[in-house]
Structure 1
Amino acid sequence: MNVNMDKSQEIFYKILSEHKELSSLPQVLAEVLKISSDDNSSADDLADVIMKDPALAAKLLRVVNSPFCGMAREVTSIKQAVMTLGIRTVTAIALSTSIYDLTNKIDSLINRKKFWRHSLEVAIASRMIAEKIGYGSPEEAFVAGLLHDIGVLILESSFPEEFKRIWRLVESGEKQELVEQRTWGTDHAKAGQFLLDQWGIPKKLGEAIGAHHEMIDHGEPASSKKLNLILNLANQISRFRVYSMPPPESKDLENRDVIAASLEISQEQLAKICENLVSEVIKESGYLEIKIGSLEELFLQANQLLFKQYLATENLLRENRTMKQQINRDQVKKAALESLNSLSATFSHYINNAISAILGRAELIEAGITRGEIIDKNGSAGLSSQIIIEAVDTISIILGELNKISMYDDSSQLDDSYLADFEEKIKTQLKNLEKASAPIGG
């Protein structure tokens, strides 16, 4: 059996043993989920269950009468609220607000306002993407988004010391899910999925939450489960983060593009969703009564994000400029090398012709002396002829070495050992040439 699987199961059951209150959902919420998944249930059935929980009933009435719903007349009954909003929307509100209240009872060092700010942003982005692509239940996407990081709170509460160490690494720029995997053999996404399965929440919600950090390489078939892709993409376009994040890597951007293409949502549509996210987060946090911080806190974080984006862009432009300069230098070097190679080939051609002429004349002189056609009383003509032939051979060897270098397209291909060996060969040949050129009898 997989060691990591064994370890992760131990982790999950430790969570449940330490948090008995998480082993099951509150009774009313469990009944709400049961009714919403039963096609034969009616608005009356759902209203009857909600009225068992006065706090939930009061919150539902506040939501339906908020400016967000834009009701012409005040809604005063739960049945009317259910009929107005619809069973799916009421279930989403009940689930979201109940789990929000439930998890806020768990002790945590994480900034809760930042946590729910990010969660609500992902929830709204998920719903917007779902609506844009015509997904059957945008409310379902909203709930998945709101609960996608619930595993973070659970792991932190169950393993406070390990989590502190993990959080320090995450704040320094490491990927949270990777550090969690190294530590526990599982991550917050899988922990969240496990918890939702325990609660009997529809499987597809748990699966989407468990897969919201999955990477999809270019060319790899994306998941056919659209809710998984919607949540993954919504999480990636979120700007309000619980912790500081480094700029995305190229593989992260490629993953986002692959998912967007799989969902058939354009970059322009995605940009429009991002443009409207902050205002929607502010508006919906109010009527859902989810504490995400004051407007001042939100705008401060937005300004910080903007400044970080500015710095990232500035660094990118600087790197781009440096790269261009390097490319220009490399292009100049390449052009110079090509010119040098061309000149070397031209000079070699003329020098080889001259060498051939000199060598030919020297050999004629030597042949003339041998045949007695040229009188060489003291033998100096023969010696000179031999010296000329040896000097020409030396020049030919040097030219041969130079031609070898000119065959390289890139000077970086010439390593230090080759150049040192080349220099030694040339020095040896030049010494030979110097000796050969010394005056006779000198």
Structure 2
Amino acid sequence: MKPTFCQCCERVYEVPEDYLKGTSKFRVCPKAFLWFECSCGSGLVLKKGEYEWYSPTLRMSEAAATIFQNVQEIRNIPLVPTAIMTLQTVISDENSSSTDIKKALKQAPNIAMGVLRIANNLRASSIPEFTNLEHAISFVGRKTLNELILTETLQEFDFKTNFFAKDAYWQESILTGKICEYIAEHFARHLSKDEAYIAGCLCNIGKVVSAICFPNVTDDVARQTVNPRRPRTWSLGEDNIRAYSHVTLGEIAASLWGFPDYVVHAISYHHVVPEKVTDLPLDVLDFMDNEAEQRLATLQQVVAMGNQFTHWVLLQPTRMDEPLLNSYAKKFGLSDEQINQLADQLMKLKELKAS
């Protein structure tokens, strides 16, 4: 096979094992090109026919890989548009300027407006509102910008459900992101607030897959969560009708849409008690130092706790897994009184954002 060269770090890819070591964010676009990131973070692309070694199931769990291979409805998952992947590659290129990125973003005006909006959501109250796209790009940074663009792109995908509403889902997801950002800022300051926001926003992305591929089942689960006679959490609703878990569907989405490893980890374990959380695969850990591994573990804890606080803040006690919330609160050394105080602060955060 023909070697591939990374222009940024000069890494050479010659055999399949080279492509599968330390690389990330694999995704195939509608033109059947394979896009991925080198270990240095730069974007690389292979044309159709040059990656016979690749399968979307490579980094899926056994459950996710089985569903992907055997369930026909999964083929209905939309792919990230080629134009968006091209834009992400421009952003990853260390030789491109903010002006170059701005020009590329203008080719996708809806995404550009979304980036501007999200940058304003992420800014501190002391920073003036962004009206200039270049300023917003400089503020969020390239790495975060790439992931914000992906998040914004996913919001363009249409749900096929009748009861489970797209707008309500994304409003809840964005609130989860803001709550995770707040928790990171106050209880895990060594974390990136932006990464906490993105991981929180995307931890339930499996529900998007469910709403596109299994709309009738998704509506049934959603109705159970608001059933006045016997309301259930989303996970219990899935179990009750033997639906595919949104966690497993989220792993499939992460593989197809090129999520970063920290988001994949948060998706996989946001409903798992701390003692049962396992590490990332060794091929990922090989390219991390101990500090990075610790950040990954803490970020998962922030997201698992933040996801439960979202139901508290939205006054959805029947959707909250209280034992899970308490188990993660203990990881941060929070007493019962401090949990209640944090909930009060997050309620004020929601009201402030709403105003």
TM-score class, shorter: 0.5 to 0.7
Q: Deviations over 1:129-187 (max 9, x none)?
A: 12221243221221121222222232133223333443444432344324425655740
Shift of 1:45: 4.9
Match of 2:175 in 1: 121
What does residue 235 of structure 1 align with?
A: 307
* In 2: Cα distance, 1:64 partner to 1:3 partner: 37
Superposed, 1:238-249 pairs within 5 Å as: 238-239=310-311, 245-246=317-318
1:281 is matched with 350
Moved more, 39-48 or 111-120: 39-48
What corresponds to 1:177 in structure 2?
A: 235
* Unmatched segments (≥5 aa) in structure 2: 1-60, 280-293
The answer to whether the Cα contact below 8 Å between 1:155 and 1:163 also exists between their aligned partners in 2 is: yes
Q: How does 1:275-424 map to 2 (within 5 A)?
A: 275-281=344-350, 283-284=352-353
- Which residues in structure 2 correspond to 1:78-89 (within 5 Å)? 78-89=133-144
The residue number in structure 2 matching 1:385 is none
Distance 1:123 1:221, change over 3 A: closer
Instruction: Tell whether the 8 Å contact from 1:4 to 1:185 is kept in structure 2 after alignment.
Output: no
Whether 1:166 and 2:191 are equivalent positions in the alignment is no
Counterpart of 2:300, as a letter, is: N
Deviation digits for residues 384-410 of structure 1, max 9, x if unmatched?
A: xxxxxxxxxxxxxxxxxxxxxxxxxxx
Given candidates 84, 91, 109, the residue that maps to 1:29 is 84
Equivalent position amino acid for 1:212 in 2? H
Which amino acid in 2 is paired with 1:207? H
1:90 deviation in Å? Answer: 3.7
Q: Name which of 318, 324, 327 aligns with 1:258.
A: 327
For residues 242 and 201 of structure 2, the distance between their equivalents in structure 1, rounded to whole angstroms, comes to: 24
Looking at structure 2, the residues matched to 262 and 65 of structure 1 have their Cα atoms a distance apart, in angstroms, of 31
Give the deviation of 1:7 after TM superposition: 5.4
Q: Is contact 2:99–2:134 with CA below 8 Å preserved after alignment?
A: yes
**Does the C-alpha gap of structure 1 residues 185 and 108 become closer, same or farther in structure 2, counting only changes over 3 Å?**
closer
Alpha-carbon separation, structure 1, partners of 2:216 and 2:108: 37
Tell me, yes or no, if structure 1 residue 155 matches structure 2 residue 210: yes
The answer to whether the aligner puts 1:143 opposite 2:215 as a matched pair is no
Asked if the contact 1:92/1:143 (under 8 Å) is kept, the reply is yes
In structure 2, the residue matched to 1:187 is 245
Shift of 1:60: 3.8
Q: Identity of aligned pairs, percent?
A: 19
Q: Distance between the aligned counterparts of 1:244 and 1:70, measured in 2?
A: 32
Kindly provide the amino acid, as one letter, of the partner of residue 67 in structure 2. S
Partner amino acid, structure 1, of 2:76: E
Q: Using the alignment, how far apart are the partners of 1:90 and 1:115 within structure 2?
A: 22
TM-score, normalised relative to structure 1 = 0.51
- Alpha-carbon distance in structure 2 between the residues aligned to 1:271 and 1:36: 42
Greater helix content: 1
Amino acid at match of 2:204: D
Find 1:206's aligned residue among 251, 255, 264.
Answer: 264
1:8 equivalenced with 2:67 (yes/no): yes
Higher strand share: 2
Inter-partner Cα distance in structure 2 for 1:166 and 1:64 = 33
C-alpha spacing 1:33/1:240, structure 2 compared with 1 (3 Å): farther
The answer to whether residue 269 in structure 2 is matched with residue 215 in structure 1 is: no
CA distance in 2: counterparts of 1:152 and 1:64, whole angstroms: 25
**Alpha-carbon spacing, 1:280–1:116, altered in 2? closer, same or farther (3 Å):** farther
- State the secondary structure of the residue aligned to 1:136: coil
How many residue pairs end up in the alignment? Answer: 274
2-structure distance, mates of 1:140, 1:241: 21
For the 8 Å contact 2:177–2:201, the answer to whether it is kept is yes
Q: Quick check: 2:160–2:211 contact (8 Å CA) kept in 1?
A: no
Matched-pair contact (CA < 8 Å) for 1:166–1:180 = yes
Q: Is the Cα contact below 8 Å between 1:222 and 1:262 reproduced in 2?
A: no
Cα separation, partners in 2 of 1:90 and 1:54, compared to 1, 3 Å: same
Kept in 2, the 8 Å contact 1:213–1:232? The answer is: yes
8 A contact 1:193–1:207 mirrored in 2: no
Provide the residue aligned with 1:111 in structure 2. Answer: 165
TM-score between both structures, scaled by the size of structure 2: 0.61
Residues 250-307 of structure 1, C-alpha deviations (whole Å, 9 max, x = no match): xx5443333233345566665444223344335546xxxxxxxxx7xxxxxxxxxxxx
Cα distance in 1, alignment partners of residues 90 and 323 from structure 2: 41
Pairing 1:47-58 to 2, within 5 Å after superposition? 47-58=102-113
Shift of the 168–54 alpha-carbon distance from structure 1 to 2, 3 Å rule, reads closer
Equivalent pair of 1:35/1:46 in contact (CA under 8 Å): yes
* In 1: Cα distance, 2:255 partner to 2:205 partner: 13
Q: Which whole-Å deviations, capped at 9, do the CAs of 1:47-67 have from their partners, x for residues lacking one?
A: 343232122224444566789
Provide the C-alpha distance between the structure 2 equivalents of 1:261 and 1:37, rounded to a whole number of angstroms: 38
Q: Report if aligned partners of 1:108, 1:156 keep a CA contact under 8 Å in 2.
A: no
Contact 1:92-1:139 within 8 A present in 2 as well? no
Deviations 1:199-253 (A, max 9, x none): 1121221221122111346xx78876222211111011123689965386xxx54
Q: Which runs of 5+ in 1 are unaligned?
A: 286-294, 296-442
* Residue aligned with 2:136, SS: helix
Greater Rg by CA: 1
